[in-house]
Structure 1
Amino acid sequence: MRYFICLVILFSSLSELHADHGLHFKSNEVAKELRTGVDITHKSNISYNTSFSIHFAISFRDSDTHYGDILSLKEINGNKLIQVNFRDPDLFVIYNKRETKFHCNFKELGIQNNRWISFELKIDAKNENLQLLFGDTILNTSIKFPQNSEFALSLGVVNKYGFVIDEVPSISIKDLSIRINGSPKHLWPFRKTDSNLLRDILSSRTAKIYNPDWVVDYHNKWAPLDSFTFSTIPSMAFDSQKEILYFVMNNGDISSYDLRTKQFSTLTVHSGYPSFEKSQQVIINKGEILSYSFNRNRTSSYNFKTHQWSKNKKSSLDDIPKFWHHNKLIHPITKEITTICGYGFYSYYNKIQSFNKESNTWNELKFTGDTIQPRYLASFGSSSKDSNIGYLFGGLGNSLGKQILGKEFYYDLYKIDFKKKCIKKLWNYKCKDDKFQYLPVNTMITDNDSCFYTIMFPALKRNTYLKVVKGFINNSRLVFIGDSIPYDFLDVESFADLYYWKSENKLIALTSHLASDNTYHVNLHSISYAPDEEAELNLDARSLPLSIKIFYSCFALFLLILALIIRKKIRAKHQSEKELVSHVSTFDIEPIISYKIPLVNAILLFGGFQVFDSKSKNISYRFSPTLKELFLLILLYSTENGKGISSRRIQEYLWPDKPESKAKNNRGVNIKKLRSILEDISGLEIIYDNNYWKLTSDDSIFCDLIHITNEIKKFKESGNIEKLEEILQILKRGTLLRDIFPEWLDSFKDKNTGKIVNFLENIVSQADLNTSLRLRISNVIFEFDQMNETALRVKCSLLSSEGKHSLSVETYENYKKLYSKFYNEEYKFSFKDIAKDLTVMH
């Protein structure tokens, strides 16, 4: 029976298990009182008889934290204490404040940062055994532990054991499950929530969370890493083995940035120059910086031992490149510099060419199979499984290669086999929107030859943005992921690229552009890999035996069949009542007028957040959680008081833990992003007026909240039924911003909900309105206030008077159940009291 209950709950909670999830523990980067903890047994302890196990996935990240408590467990009857402790680079298990022989050295085990590792602590009190599973390591020791007892459990900084815990290492944890006496009893996926409670999806338990920081935000949000300024254009290359970025200047100077140490430094250069052209013509080959020129047919390499460039002739910055924004690689067979496509002198190219050192010539390579259309600004990446294979995605060009004949945005994917000298077109993404004009950056990251990641940007405006896109190698799908990075696109004066930071399991985005003062600005951002990855949770993979997994599968089939049989019987039994429900439903929603909510230059807040631009395109996806909250703060305060919101108030709501300088920087960056988005909405603008941020709009902008407020006022003045129809059409979409839950928003929701419900209550009680309209109004009231007694009385009375007695009783019974659930007491009025003729109410 227990397995059956677990299965039902698991099936009903699948949405909990299909998104990047997990809890990121704040460590010594914040004050002690702001560090993260989870009290698993905050209400009551967990009982066991002979054994129990605790299993979760854990990830460590690079930080200055070298110590902290991961897990604390206290057995109640025998007062036994177990702690799992981290002291860099070791993991320890402490029993009654003494070290056990359990000791895992991360360096010896090759544990890398930002990778999920399986952790299980299993206590067998009957056989006096303690077992630790950490990754592929299994350790056992003898331990005396009471049977038939209970335990308290917490993670991180939770003080409930009689001694101080204020240190937690830089970790993330997800999918914590507990088995009692061999059976799965509890599972907390650690999915993001706006409350301080985490739900156990196998029981009614909750865990209390302190100072949470969610893993999903690190997979959806780019974090600024560093920025640099150069007096002339730098050519940039990334050494993925050393994890160092190199910046090569025309005069031979080289600067470097070490991702691991965050150190920017200047290399010693004794003599020589690179073969420099302004089209990013440097590449790393076996740890060597290699530069190349198309115009001069030469290469020059930098020797790290002698600190010399191999060529002594300086290149001219006036030498215009032949192939802007081409793709490059070291040929997997010949080991020669190889380039793909490019743009120059008003022409697009589809050449694949390699440089022959012996003859100092560029030779075009010949391939069989499909032909790549001439283009530049494409994205290239090598196969993660076969170094002879490369993939080329997207770009801008046309089939004849002449710029004068127009531009075509490509969203196709080619497989290039350098060993077989063959090209195959895998797919062409058919974009339904001809206004979708995005281009990728130079590099893509492939993942097991099943998908790839690159970043793309809208190409037809200068102040644009970069956004991660996930593509599927065997399926023509493109999915935008996460938030965006500001990007100034000046065609050949701009450059952006994507790198994989292996040791930290992150993606690095690099952007470079020519600034107004003729200097070149380079910015680095990082995001956790893989962005917004949709990984299925493998429930307790180590601790659930195969027999139970098979049992779950069989039971799932049985449950499905059983559900179908029950559903069929219910349908047959209540067919006549279903027809009645169908009739009433149609009758209930019949509109008075055919009012349609505008979807051009529109801001919709009822039923969830949606924004439509001047071309009726839904651009809600462009608002990251922070941008959405910032936009709503400015919008709602502007609507309420007419003057907007101050910078200090924005800081209090969005960045309360940041110092003023950082909060100011965050605000400036996000205001800039927001203004960029609002450029596509005609007549809407953010201004800074008299120390307040304010949203201004003209008559072409439709905001449903503002419209509702105005229409309610007009209806009160005129009693025009058409105005009421417009109000109901909007409100039936749902409550105000029901998908957004910051604390500051509650007062706005409560205030507007109260006004709306009071207005509708006054109207629905008017006997001169027709039955259909009054039923529709009562339904809308229930949408905003499901415990509204006026709506209950109206609906039950009207349904009964129309002969829909069963529906009237059903409405009443549902209300009674909710009332009992919310107030923990029985509803005092009988159905007869509620359903009596409405005239008795007045």
Structure 2
Amino acid sequence: MAILTKINFLISLVFGFILLQSPQTGGLKFKGSEHPINQRTSYDVFGNKQITFLDHFELEFNLSLSTATEIGYILRIKNRENGRIFNLFYDGQGDHLIFKFNEEGKSNLIIANLDRDQLLNRQWSDVKISFDLTGQSITLSIDDKIFSTQKVTLVDTYQPMILFGKSDHIIDVPSFAIKDVSVSGKDSYDFPLLENEGNIVHDINGTPYGQVVNPDWLKNYAYHWKHQATFKSEAIAGANYHPKRNETYYYNRDSIWIYNVRSGQTYLRVFEQKNPVELILGTNFIDTIQNRLYTYEVYYENPNDGPTVASLDLDSYQWTEESYEQLPTQLHHHGSYLDHTDSTYNIFGGFGNMKYNKGFYSLDLNEKSWSKKEEFTGDVISPRYFSSVGYHAENNSLYILGGMGNESGEQSVGRQYYYDLYQVNLSDNEVTKLWEIPWNNDNVVPVRGMVLVNDSSLYTLCYPEHFSESSLRLYRFSLKDGSYEILGDSIPIRSDKITTNANIYFDKGLNNLYALVQEFDDDISSELKIYSLAFPAITKAELSNFPEEQKDNTSFIALLIGSGAIGLGFFLYHKLKTKSQVTEINPSENGDLFRIPKMEPKTKPNSIQLFGNFTVRDRKNRDITYMFSTQLKQVFCLILQYSISEDGISSQHLSHLLWPDRPADKVKNSRGVTINNLRKTLSELEGLELIHEKGHYKLILHETAYCDYVRFLEIISSHEVAAHRDEFTQIVSKGKFLYLSDDPLFDSFKEEAETKLEPILILEIEKTYSIESYHNTISLTESLFHIDPLNEIALVFQIKAMQKLKMNEEAAIVFRTFAIEYKRVTGKEFHRTFSGLTS
């Protein structure tokens, strides 16, 4: 029995060493004062267990702070015997961060005044509170700063109740996170916080101790990709991430959205001078040293289309033309890297002119010219695109992973998927094939970038691009032999367009991976979604693998092995108070303000969407909007309009609207070709029939087909909007009717729809506000703004609904945006004040 006890003690000691040596092992995020009181987090370390310390004890934990300027209580320490309470209060409002250690309800004992930037730039700060019960003193240390009390009366026996976050009447809680909690005296109690679900907290041996209310376990942030923000541009746009500034950029020729992943704030700046590069693909890179964003196009059909490279100063937001040179062909999905040692930007591979490419091209940022690099020796890389490229500074090497293409480079030969890795030593330009692995799963391609944080592994996102509705997964490949693991859950991506792309970035300071997914609707308009994942990421098995209470020596050994893997593999850190969509837009001196469109609702098969972007989805729920040319869209909408309001449109009227100046014989031929093409396209859907009878063309929608405008008309004609309010709101909040369809042929259809919609919107806005359905009120006011951007009824109800939801900052932004637009349109200052609207 004594031997077994010693073995258990030794295993427990080693197990504890493994976990405590791991720099990122777990954690608990606290929901603070930004949440309702009943949703705020509290953590009782010992729970109902009574733990006694003699002479001394100390509490130690790692603390991660939000960037928000908040105040509140981090923790309270009660003595079970006499009810005496000490608390740690945090004040982040001023230029410095202040921690106050108090005897609750009596006096302040310690004030720790700390440098704001130094503390917030740390991932975690080590906090230790030491009670010297015999020496009658308390010491607070935060990282390398030590603060002590004067003489304070303490009893020599202490039964602490340690409470983090909300407790009793203490409800003011800042946003923060903790991990690796330890309470020690003669005995030590260690809580790595490795849980990912539930309310029970286990110690390092798996014994249940404390309890959490409203937990937000950090381990989940290392498995589940968190959607942070969505943006949309109706013009061609590019996107990138700046790790030194924690900022995502999404720009077109007119403006740039700047999203700070740390603060959750979004800024929109309108350029004083238009981006000089005519965007085709929106390819770009960031020089983090010079703080410049370079946008470039390698090829124009018309070589006189203007500059091909320009740079944006990320401090002044002024554009500079850099080069007019271009390459011989377009290069879709090429890989790239920026070499600071010789100020060159280098690209590899790509697809264009029905050929796969294997060349390296270099843009000299000083000479502002392109050149082809020919001096490589060693293994030959076959022509390809969709390769992932990464640079590793420690060995001055470039790594090229996978892609697809063929040895000849000719698209007509067919393509094959590559699962190989090449190393290009940039010191001597020698190419070495490191490995090629067999692949028995669905074929996948990697994204353009990769993450190299050491000399043993690379991380990248891969997805089967040949599926319309696809998913990105994070892969960790061994640089040595190509063995791999899939980490985290998936990110959805719609990959119909060749311009659709995704990329991965690593922010070393925040220890987060960021994925930027840019989906193109029509090779022009696009939507950017930003996701984050704590690093290192974990597998699904690791997600729920935390210590369980031990029964015997065998369990301890199993625990030791499993925990060693956890201790080496886990990183659970997330200190951002993020938001899933944009909440703040600040004006600049040269900028303007815009509302940012919301996410689209779930799609339906066999559907036509006229609110927002014109969209058609076939029987398999694939987006086939690209099959509708401008003329097919014209014909379809005209026939639909007249099918709803009349008994279809006559052949003569259709011809007159579309081809008013053509001879009759040519019109008949054009009409026949166009109608046949429309029938062929509509055959991709079920339940939608185009008929021609009595000289009229008419569309008939059966039950299996869906059109949001037809459904809208059904709801309002039933005079029971209240019974279908959520569906009605979802339809009309997708955007302006026939958004981006500026052809005059659509004017009467738009006017007809908006005439029906506007009075109902005003009525429903008032009703939803009166029944306290404030989210619906806000969505409906946005729809009213689509019709009338200066509608004061929409403004008043939107601001009041936001204030009811405690969205006071957002309400102020809405008012400022409206006032700026009002002045731009009318030339006059808006005649009402924010306080006047809300009184």
TM-score, structure 2 as length reference: 0.58
1:403 corresponds to: 411
Aligned-residue offset at 1:538 = 14
- Give the deviation of 1:36 after TM superposition: 0.9
Q: Give per-residue Cα distances to partners, 1:687-726, cap 9 Å, x unaligned.
A: 99999xxxxxxxxxxxxxxxxxxxxxxxxxxxxxxxxxxx
Per-residue deviation, residues 564-622 of structure 1 (Å, max 9, x unmatched): xxxxxxxxxxxxxxxxxxxxxxxxxxxxxxxxxxxxxxxxxxxxxxxxxxxxxxxxxxx
- Tell me: CA distance 1:14–1:373, structure 2 relative to 1, closer, same or farther (3 Å): farther
Q: What amino acid does structure 1 have at the position aligned with 2:475?
A: V
1:361 to partner: Cα distance: 3.8
> Which of 83, 91, 95 is 2:99 aligned to?
91
Partner of residue 724, structure 1: none
- Structure-2 separation of matches of 1:460 and 1:71: 52
Name which of 513, 519, 527 aligns with 1:513. 519
* Cα deviation, residue 68, structure 1: 2.1
2: distance between equivalents of 1:119 and 1:55?
6
Counterpart mapping for 1:223-622 below 5 A: 223-249=226-252, 251=253, 254-259=256-261, 260=263, 262-270=265-273, 273-274=276-277, 276-278=279-281, 280-284=283-287, 286-295=290-299, 299-303=309-313, 309-311=319-321, 322-356=330-364, 358=367, 360-383=369-392, 385=394, 388-431=396-439, 433=440, 435-501=441-507, 504-515=510-521, 519-532=525-538
**How much has 1:463 moved relative to structure 2?**
0.8
Instruction: Give the match's secondary structure for 2:120.
Output: coil
Q: What's the CA shift for 1:392?
A: 2.4
> How far off its partner does 1:140 sit?
4.2
Q: Which residue of 2 aligns with 1:207?
A: 210
Structure 2 counterpart of 1:725: none
**Cα distance, 1:325 vs structure 2:** 0.7
Name the residue aligned to 2:806.
none
Code of the aligned partner of 1:366: E
Q: Which residue of 1 aligns with 2:78?
A: 74
Inter-partner Cα distance in structure 2 for 1:198 and 1:127: 32
Question: Which residue is equivalent to 1:150?
Answer: 159
In 2: Cα distance, 1:87 partner to 1:359 partner = 50
- Select which of 101, 105, 109 maps to 2:114: 105
Amino acid across the alignment from 1:54: L
Q: Is the 2:137–2:148 contact (alpha carbons within 8 Å) kept by the matching residues of 1?
A: yes
Cα deviation for residue 420 of structure 1 reads 3.3
Partner of 2:176: 171
Q: For residues 601 and 56 of structure 2, what CA distance do their matches in structure 1 show?
A: 52
SS in 2 for 1:394: strand
* 1-structure distance, mates of 2:392, 2:32: 37
Structure 1 pair 390–121 and aligned structure 2 pair: CA distance change class (3 A) = farther
CA contact (8 A) 1:274 1:301 kept: no
Which consecutive unaligned segments of at least 5 residues does structure 2 have?
Answer: 548-552, 558-597, 606-616, 622-703, 707-722, 725-839
Q: Which deviates further from its counterpart, 71-80 or 165-174?
A: 71-80
Name the CA distance, whole Å, in 1 between partners of 2:72 and 2:246: 28
- Hey, what does 1:23 align to over in structure 2? 28
Distance 1:422 1:688, change over 3 A: same
Does 1 or 2 have the higher relative contact order (CA < 8 Å, sep 6+)?
A: 2
Distance 1:148 1:453 in 2: 52
**What is the one-letter code of the residue matched to 1:173?**
I
Q: Deviations along 1:767-798, whole A, 9 cap, x unmatched?
A: xxxxxxxxxxxxxxxxxxxxxxxxxxxxxxxx
Asked if the contact 2:102–2:110 (Cα under 8 Å) also holds between the matched residues in 1, the reply is: no
Kindly tell me: are residues 140 and 21 of structure 1, through their superposed partners in 2, closer, same or farther at Cα, counting changes over 3 Å? same
In structure 2, which of residues 222, 240, 247 is the aligned counterpart of residue 219 of structure 1? Answer: 222
1:37 to 2:78 alignment: no
- Give SS of 1:33's match: helix
Give how far 1:3 is off. Answer: 7.3
In structure 2, C-alpha distance between the alignment counterparts of 1:82 and 1:54, rounded to whole Å: 13
Q: Distance in 1 between matches of 2:317 and 2:224?
A: 39
C-alpha RMSD of the superposition: 4.4
- In structure 1, what is the Cα distance between the partners aligned to 2:119 and 2:18? 34
- Say if 1:189 and 1:301 are closer, same or farther in 2 by CA, change over 3 A: closer
Q: 1:730 maps to what in 2?
A: none
CA–CA separation in structure 2 for the residues paired with 1:32 and 1:670: 39
Cα distance in 1 for residues equivalent to 2:32 and 2:510? 17
| Cα separation, 2, equivalents of 1:358 and 1:42 | 68
Give unmatched runs, 5+ long, in structure 1: 540-558, 564-663, 680-686, 692-842
Structure 1 pair 280–122 and aligned structure 2 pair: CA distance change class (3 A): same
Q: Secondary structure at the match of 1:109?
A: helix
What is the CA–CA distance in structure 2 between the aligned matches of 1:120 and 1:63, rounded to whole Å? 23
Per-residue CA deviation, residues 362-421 of structure 1 (Å, 9 max, x unaligned), is: 2224223333332211122232646x3333222112233232333222232333332332
Do the aligned partners of 2:248 and 2:259 also contact (CA within 8 Å) in 1? yes
Distance in 2, Cα, partners of 1:42 & 1:359: 66
Matching residue of 1:754: none
> 1:525–1:212: structure 2 CA closer, same or farther, 3 Å change rule?
same
Is the CA contact (8 Å cut-off) linking 2:77 and 2:161 kept in structure 1?
yes
Alpha-carbon distance in 1 for matches of 2:373, 2:489 = 40
* CA-to-aligned-CA distance 1:455-501 (integer Å, 9 cap, x gap): 11122211101122223334523221222221011352211112234
- Give 1:122 deviation, angstroms: 2.1
Between the aligned partners of 1:320 and 1:522, the Cα distance in structure 2 is 30
Q: 1:126 to 1:414 in 2, by over 3 A?
A: farther
Separation in structure 1 between the aligned mates of residue 464 and residue 518 of structure 2, nearest angstrom? 16
Contact kept? 2:312, 2:320, Cα under 8 Å: yes
**Greater shift in the superposed pair: 115-124 or 11-20:** 11-20
Q: Hey, what's the Cα distance between the residues in 2 that align with 1:447 and 1:21?
A: 21
What is the rounded CA distance, in whole Å, between the counterparts of 1:205 and 1:293 in structure 2?
59
Letter in 1 for 2:36: A
* CA distance, structure 2, for counterparts of residue 392 and residue 405 of structure 1: 23
Asked if the contact 1:506–1:526 (Cα under 8 Å) also holds between the matched residues in 2, the reply is yes
Distance 1:509 1:279 in 2: 17
CA-CA distance at 1:31 after TM superposition:
0.9
Q: Taking every aligned residue pair, what percent have the same amino acid on both sides?
A: 21
Q: 1:48 aligned to 2:53?
A: yes
- 1:155-194 deviation per Cα after TM superposition (whole angstroms, max 9, x unaligned): 11122xxxx211222222223222222x42x222223265
- CA contact 1:50–1:148 (8 Å) conserved in 2: yes
- Amino acid of the structure 2 residue aligned with 1:199: H
Partner of 1:493: helix, strand, or coil?
A: coil
Query: Which amino acid is 2:427 matched to?
Result: K
Classify the secondary structure of the residue corresponding to 1:53.
Answer: strand
Check whether the contact 2:243–2:506 (CA below 8 A) recurs between aligned residues. Answer: yes
Distance 1:35 1:313 in 2: 55
Distance 1:517 1:338 in 2: 25
* CA shift for structure 1 position 32: 0.8
Q: In 2, Cα distance between the equivalents of 1:203 and 1:173?
A: 19
> How many residue pairs were aligned?
549
Deviation per residue, 1:529-580 (Å, 9 max, x gap): 3322879x999xxxxxxxxxxxxxxxxxxx99x99xxxxxxxxxxxxxxxxx
